[in-house]
Amino acid sequence: MTLALYVHIPFCVAKCYYCSFHSYAIGRENCVLKGLGQRNTLLERYVRALLQEGEKYSRSDYLAGESFNSLYIGGGTPTCLTGGQLYLLLASLRELFGISAEAEITVEANPGTLDNGKLRKLREGGCNRLSLGVQSFDPRELEALGRIHQALDVYNTFSEARKEGFTNINIDLMYGLPGQDLRQWAANLKEAVALNPEHISLYQLSLEENTPFYDLLQKGLLTEFDEDTAAGMYDLAQGYLAANGYGHYEISNYAKSGRESVHNKTYWKYGEYVGLGAGATGFFGGKRYTNHCDIHAYCDAVITDKRPVEAEEILEKRTAMAEMMFMGLRLRQGVSKKDFAERFTERIEDIFGETIKRLKSKRLLEESASHIFLSEKAIPLANMVFIEFLP
């Protein structure tokens, strides 16, 4: 069995106006941006707690001898940490979990929080994949989203990363932004492709509760994006990225051949993973746990030798089967019949035969000898298809 390791860094310079992720804004003065900023005791305590939590899991009976094929440091903005802290995390966790240099080792970064010194530390720690939260190349869109970076930061960071030897870079882009039209979206796609990243992730902006954007929606100062235009943007991206050599391998993800995300594929294939950090989730041995979101509660628990877990559930077999279906259907390849049978010692057809038949008759699902997958027509309706597999 191979597993994935996820590490959550819940700190950002400032909150973006649309963000409902678990992250704390700690201000420019407390984030080490491009060699600036002061060492922050909260961040230092947090890094120590992460390593202590990791050490405990690495010694657990269930994980002993298991191999990890990916490490992903996400957030928040992991690159708020100093180069030294990032190096320490990468090197120590790789040693604790026996993660080789060949594994996919990703760090998420905000353009504008990296310089060549920090990039070098990432490389020295073994990071071989960068995931850049670009979102847009348009200065007005970046400002409207509350991003801390400028378009120029993206070009500079990308070019510095290449110089430091990063040959595997992802770019996150958002569409369906307030006031955005197809022409502006096409311009963003063109800029992204011109940089020639190995991987591109696309997300439609959604207006989530407890965000400034949601407040504006409630006050009538912002409207939900028109779904037909959003669908047009999705189609435009699909055609443009395919024409430029990016395979559409997951609903929201595109990659050059062989550059699909190993880490995220573990989630979509319903593999097991260990999660470290405040608010992180882990899933192995039939159990799913979620750590305390509160940073102090998380650090206090770890440092006093307690498990920092806020909630844990043992998954019912039928629930796990449904989850494997709707995670796997996100992949264009779909759910492997063999993987399903190996996981549950039951055939996919014996559990979901009727549902699959019904969805095939509506041309929402397709089937090959080895896989069940979404039809082209079903991609915009994916959530409706997933619901059909729930117990």
Q: Provide the binding-site residues for ligand SF4, judged by CB under 6 A.
A: 12, 15-16, 19, 21, 23, 75-77, 110, 133
Rounded to a whole number of angstroms, the minimum distance from the CB of residue 381 to ligand SF4 is 27
Rounded to a whole number of angstroms, the minimum distance from the CB of residue 110 to ligand SF4 is 5
Rounded to a whole number of angstroms, the minimum distance from the CB of residue 32 to ligand SF4 is 15
Rounded to a whole number of angstroms, the minimum distance from the CB of residue 14 to ligand SF4 is 7
Return the residue nearest ligand SF4 (CB atom).
Answer: 19
Output 7 or 348, the one with its CB closest to ligand SF4: 7
Q: Report the SS3 class of residue 323.
A: helix
Which residues on neighbouring strands pair with residue 75, listed in sequence order?
Answer: 9
**HSE-up (13 A, CA, CB side) for residue 16:** 25
DSSP string, 206-235: ---SSSHHHHHHHTTSS-PPPHHHHHHHHH
Rounded to a whole number of angstroms, the minimum distance from the CB of residue 145 to ligand SF4 is 8
Tokens for 30, please give them: 């407390």
Output 26 or 385, the one with its CB closest to ligand SF4: 26
> Is 277 buried (19+), middle (13-18) or exposed (0-12) by CB count in 10 A?
buried
Q: Report the SS3 class of residue 2.
A: strand
Rounded to a whole number of angstroms, the minimum distance from the CB of residue 286 to ligand SF4 is 30
Rounded to a whole number of angstroms, the minimum distance from the CB of residue 373 to ligand SF4 is 30
In 98-205, which ranges are E strands? 104-109, 129-135, 169-175, 199-204
Q: What is the DSSP letter of 100?
A: -
Output 32 or 324, the one with its CB closest to ligand SF4: 32
Output 133 or 279, the one with its CB closest to ligand SF4: 133
Provide CB contacts within 8 A for 60, sequence distance 6+. none
Which residues on neighbouring strands pair with residue 141, listed in sequence order?
Answer: none
Q: At what angle do helices 337-344 and 348-361 cross, to 10 degrees?
A: 140
Nearest to 298 by CA among 3, 8, 28, 5: 8
Rounded to a whole number of angstroms, the minimum distance from the CB of residue 135 to ligand SF4 is 8
Q: Report the SS3 class of residue 344.
A: helix
Output 124 or 215, the one with its CB closest to ligand SF4: 215
Do the beta carbons of residue 297 and residue 305 sit within 8 Å? Answer: no
Output 112 or 334, the one with its CB closest to ligand SF4: 112
Output 128 or 135, the one with its CB closest to ligand SF4: 135
Rounded to a whole number of angstroms, the minimum distance from the CB of residue 116 to ligand SF4 is 21
Rounded to a whole number of angstroms, the minimum distance from the CB of residue 16 to ligand SF4 is 3
Q: Cα 78 to the chain's mean position, in Å? A: 13
Question: How many residues does the structure list for the chain?
Answer: 391
Distance CA 238, CA 216 (A): 31
Q: What is the DSSP letter of 260?
A: S
Output 77 or 188, the one with its CB closest to ligand SF4: 77
Do the beta carbons of residue 172 and residue 203 sit within 8 Å? Answer: yes
Q: Report the SS3 class of residue 72.
A: strand
Distance CA 72, CA 130 (A): 10
Output 171 or 335, the one with its CB closest to ligand SF4: 171
Do the beta carbons of residue 117 and residue 163 sit within 8 Å? Answer: no
Distance CA 3, CA 171 (A): 24
Output 161 or 385, the one with its CB closest to ligand SF4: 161
